[in-house]
């Protein structure tokens, strides 16, 4: 949302409790001590991690999607020393090699625990969970839509996938999910959008009409 002027947006003050991580192990959010989840794009992560630490006071300017309680999609974050980190959009494309994911990588890791809260994407869509022990799991929104009760606080959940551990915690990019380790099921691919043409294969469609000469 780098096209939005943060100066006119609502302000939220709070104390940082923890950073939140995306599937690659990069910081893409903050949890404030009052339970407010703050999402920001990963290209803001390095600057925020340098300016802010757990326990720091921050001022967040951003927008709130409909239907999500205590969630802000941040356009800017102001640190205690007055430094403001603004979403100016992703860096310009260059020919440098793609950045390697952050943290150490542990393939095929299984985590099981009690859900503290669901985690969201920038539009308020559920994209993961934070467990009570501080670990987190990430999965696509279409998988979350089918889980319903299993993502509510207090529910037990198991995830299996690639794990990354950084100074800010451990995140699992889930490929399997269930209520426990014996109940794990693969996360299905996102279904393709419905195309009305699929209901009428070419050999069953009516004849083409050519204009008369």
**Domain end call among 59, 86, 113:** 86
Q: What is the CATH number of the domain that holds 24?
A: 2.40.50.140
Query: What residue numbers bound the domain in which 166 lies?
Result: 104-186
Does residue 68 share a domain with residue 18?
A: yes
All residue ranges of the chain with pLDDT < 70 are: 1, 3, 93-106, 191-213
How many helical (H) and strand (E) elements, i.e. helices and strands, does the chain have?
A: 2, 12
- Candidates 16, 18, 33, 21; CA nearest to 170 is 21
Q: Is residue 143 within a helix (H) or strand (E), and if so which, with residue range?
A: helix 141-145
154: its two tokens: 């207090």
Does residue 51 share a domain with residue 114?
A: no
- Candidates 112, 130, 128, 126; CA nearest to 35 is 130
Report pTM.
0.82
Residue 167 placed within a domain: yes
Does residue 62 share a domain with residue 32?
A: yes
Number of domains observed in the structure of the chain: 2
Does residue 127 share a domain with residue 165?
A: yes
Residue 213 placed within a domain: no
- Convert the pLDDT of each residue in 29-68 to its tens digit: 999 999 999 999 999 999 999 999 999 999 999 999 988 8
- Convert the pLDDT of each residue in 186-197 to its tens digit: 998 876 665 555
């Amino acid at each position: 949302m780098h096209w939005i002027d943060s100066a006119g947006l609502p302000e939220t003050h709070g104390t940082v409790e923890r950073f939140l991580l995306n599937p690659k192990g990069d910081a893409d959010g903050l949890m404030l001590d009052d339970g407010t989840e703050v999402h920001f794009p990963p290209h803001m992560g390095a600057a925020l991690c340098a300016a802010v630490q757990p326990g720091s006071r921050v001022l967040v300017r951003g927008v709130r999607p409909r239907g999500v309680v205590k969630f802000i999609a941040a356009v800017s974050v102001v640190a205690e020393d007055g430094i403001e980190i603004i979403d100016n959009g992703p860096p310009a494309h260059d020919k440098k090699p793609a950045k390697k994911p952050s943290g150490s990588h542990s393939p095929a890791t299984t985590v099981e625990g009690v859900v503290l809260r669901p985690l969201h994407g920038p539009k308020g869509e559920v994209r993961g969970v934070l467990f009570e022990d501080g670990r987190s799991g990430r999965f696509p929104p279409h998988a979350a839509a089918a889980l319903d009760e299993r993502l509510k606080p207090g529910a037990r959940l198991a995830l299996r996938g690639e794990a990354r551990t950084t100074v800010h915690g451990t995140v699992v990019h889930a490929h399997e999910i269930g209520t426990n380790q014996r109940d794990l099921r693969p996360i299905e691919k996102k279904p393709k959008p419905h195309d009305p043409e699929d209901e009428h294969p070419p050999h069953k469609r009516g004849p083409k009409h050519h204009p008369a000469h």
